[in-house]
Amino acid sequence: MTRTRFAVPIVIALMGVGAGAALMAIAPEAHAQRPGEWEIHSRIQQAQERINHNAARGNLSRHDARRLEKELNEIRHTEARMRKDGRLDRREREVLDHKLDRLNKEINLEKRR
């Protein structure tokens, strides 16, 4: 009888660990169901790094770096507005991708001047 008293809490604890592991295994799949959302954050970060890097190397004037930074901040604000419902739909991601593509082209043009 003593064995049973100790065995039940151990079994319950092990079940909890198993459930936690199962949830951890499912979590990446939940992110995989929202393609594009993580890519937007990554693209915004990359654009920021490109602006910073080119400004530090003197490839962008202060004026151009500030202007590009302002455009990037507008993209961030647009994303925040679009995300107010908790997600980005396909059309919203396309709009953000287009804005980021245009910004990247501007960075390339400005750093060559």
- Write out pLDDT tens, residues 42-63: 999 999 999 999 999 999 999 9
Question: Is the overall model pTM greater than 0.75, yes or no?
Answer: no
Three-state DSSP state, 36? coil
For residue 34, is it left (φ>0), alpha (ψ between -120 and 50) or beta? beta
Query: pLDDT tens digits, residue range 11-37?
Result: 555 555 554 544 444 444 444 445 556
Q: What pLDDT digit, counting tens, does each position of 73-99 carry? A: 999 999 999 999 999 999 999 999 999
Kindly report the three-state secondary structure assignment for every residue of 45-78.
HHHHHHHHHHHHCCCCCHHHHHHHHHHHHHHHHH
SS3 state at 87: coil
Residue 100's nearest CA partner among 41, 24, 54, 52 is: 41
